[in-house]
Structure 1
Amino acid sequence: MRIVIVEDEAPIREGMEKILKKLSPSYVLAGKACDGLEGLEVIRREKPDVVIMDIRMPDMDGLTMLEKLREEGVTSKAVILSAYSDFSYAKRAMELGVSNYLLKPVKIQELRKVLQQMEEEVREENSQETLLSLENIARSALTGILEKTEETTAALEKKYGVSATEPTALFIVWLDGHYEERKDIVLRILQEVAEHAAGFRSIVTAFAERTQCTMVLYHMDTAQGWEEYFDSSVVPMILSNTENKALCVWEECRGFYELEEGRKRIRQLLDWSLALGNEKLISQKRIDGISVSPLKYLPEMSLRLKQAVIKKDEKEFAACFVEFLNYCKAQTHRPKDIKEACITFLWTILNTAREYISFEENELEVQALLEAVMGAFTWEDIENIMRSLYKNIMLGGNEETGERSPLIQRAEHMIEEYYSQGITMEEVARKLGVSPEYLSRQFKKETGISFTEEIRNVKVEKVKTLLLGTNRNLTQIAAMTGFSDPKYMSKVFKDVVGVLPAEYRQMNG
């Protein structure tokens, strides 16, 4: 806690400095002044957490100094030193936010008590300040945990000048499996756009669990066509710097409280990437402006595919997939029709393998494959699913490929997304349409660790990130990462990492 002393009596000023050093190593003397005028300059320059000041001083008294500071927006807490016990100035002091008085001569125990109280207040306010930062408000809104409270609305309107219902827009860059290698360049591009484009303000953030980078636009000049600007200027820049390994989506919302609904709509828009490709910005406006054709799966397309499976001809299988891909891309079709055609393609592979080469596939794994296809956004994803299945067929279903099955990949993704909400293996198994016993067995078989250990490891990694990347206290971090309380979090953290969270923060701070 940074402290400035403003006191005209040198012995008291110097004595106070010595006392602070003895009371706590966390108390940092940021400056000293002998009167109100000098105090003004020191406080303006140092911006301390607490000012310990005398009332009666030459040139400018303490309350006049504090009044000027309040007019300038300085919110440092104040402790008044006074030799007077009548406090005739109490009303004026209260108006300036002063609630702590110490009579001269100052007693060390009273000073310690006051400073401990103020340190706790400063810590709490700093934590609250972090929680109510505009980026945190936006992230909470996007993830659905932002409550529409008077405090949040006041922070938006009074602190940041943002109306809770003013038009906002979401620009999302979805990177999927290329997230780790491409996120930094995408974030840099979005930050540069935010800094140089005039006519809107923005918040740029990233969601590792959703493999996407997000820009929230607000204070937008409605006379400008921002969707068109991003489509013509920003999207090409992102695609050229990610080797076309990105999907860019645009959605408009009515204020911060609707950002979660906007994100959900974007999830539906992403499906259209199979029909529209990633060369242009995907948006509802673009979808509304196109005409779609029905897609019928041609029976003759299956003949070559069946032969490729029977002969286990991987080259011919790849050619069949290219033929299927070109057929789907020849015209613009609805995502639902494309996904159904992909399912037919997958069933052709499975049924042929079962009939002609005695391939036995677990029904639960088949269900996971079908769900993986329905959840895919890119042709690259669909091709990987088909190739993974085909390799499994070529190996007779008995040898390990070294790759995660779609079922376990989806389970891992759900852990990443819902770890903080206390999700259980039973809930994940139910969502995936398999039994908990089967999921437990497959998870351990493919990852080498149990489902519970994976959740624990994910939580610990998130705790590490929050310890080093934020100023949040252990209680807040425990709540954000799904631990029941900070003590239990500390125990688990030490079991995994070898040191307590506080020690980890200190060692790596």
Structure 2
Amino acid sequence: MYSVIVAEDEPWIRGAVVEMIEKAGKQFQVVGEAETGEEAWELIQSTWPLLLITDIRMPDMDGLALIQKIREHQIPMAIIIVSGYDNFQYAQQAISLGVTDYLLKPVEYSQLTTVLDRCKETIAAHKELNECFVRIQAFIEKMFDSDPRTLLRKQHDLVQSILSLKLLNAGACRNLLRLFESRIRQTCDEMGIDSKFQIIRAGHDNDVVLEDFRGLLLQWITEYPHVKSQDTKLIIDQLIKQLNLQYKKDWSLQEMAEYTQLSPSHFGVLFKKQTGMSPVNYINRIRVEQAKERLMQTDKKIYEIAEEVGFSNLPYFTRLFKQVAGLTPKEFRKRLGQ
């Protein structure tokens, strides 16, 4: 199964692309939809898709900025851009950033399936790297609450597995190790822990590399308890209260991070640790729960309820409701005998 995120600010285009992907067969599965580049970036970091289909022009962060960010972080995925004739120059810039393919609007089913087929080779090449990214992200999230012995063991196993990858060349393994190192350093820096002195010697004997990673992590283990903010849980709890009160608002990741006075990446990790889900998924779950209440207690039309809880697009609301509740709004209401 190839996981897909669709990023498009026009609801009817996004919905049409999602439906065409679902129609194309079980090999591709949409795991997230985004209205802005910023929302897509958050979804990427929580779902690690193998394929991104993105518009060029979007609010907050456009498609080009999103693609550049993906490349800067060396995230392995195939990328298809969706472009109108009037912004084809932007599409050409995206192609220079190494996108896999592009589609012109309006997107047609035959064109999409052809492009998806062309992407399979790229996706297959990225799959092993993608799995490593998922493991690295899971490790970073565990840095905040795992006991030292468990953390050291997990890091040793992860570094060892990267060094043992048989399908990657030496250069790809070095890049993966550098990425893992940079993620640990970034986490240290965001908590005010100086990690500058330690350098991972990725070209050396495996035992040397393992020892270098151990030294870097020991620095985190030693200093994190002293810099850990006792107020972080309280601050996120306060944000959660605001999200429950203002669930109709289009909260951006940047807005939420600013509310907690944390960096967006650090905020995302801590929010997921505290709630078990990403900020976007948390807000969507609140909206679905609110919709359930209205479906049970009123006889309003489904599109009216969708608008009341913050969704301007009925097909998107229906898909999201089914993801969360396991039923469409219509099926949910039918189960209630209404």
TM-score, length-scaled by structure 2:
0.41
Greater fraction of residues in helix? 2
With CA pairs under 8 Å and 6+ residues apart, which has the higher RCO, 1 or 2?
2
Rg: which structure is higher?
A: 1
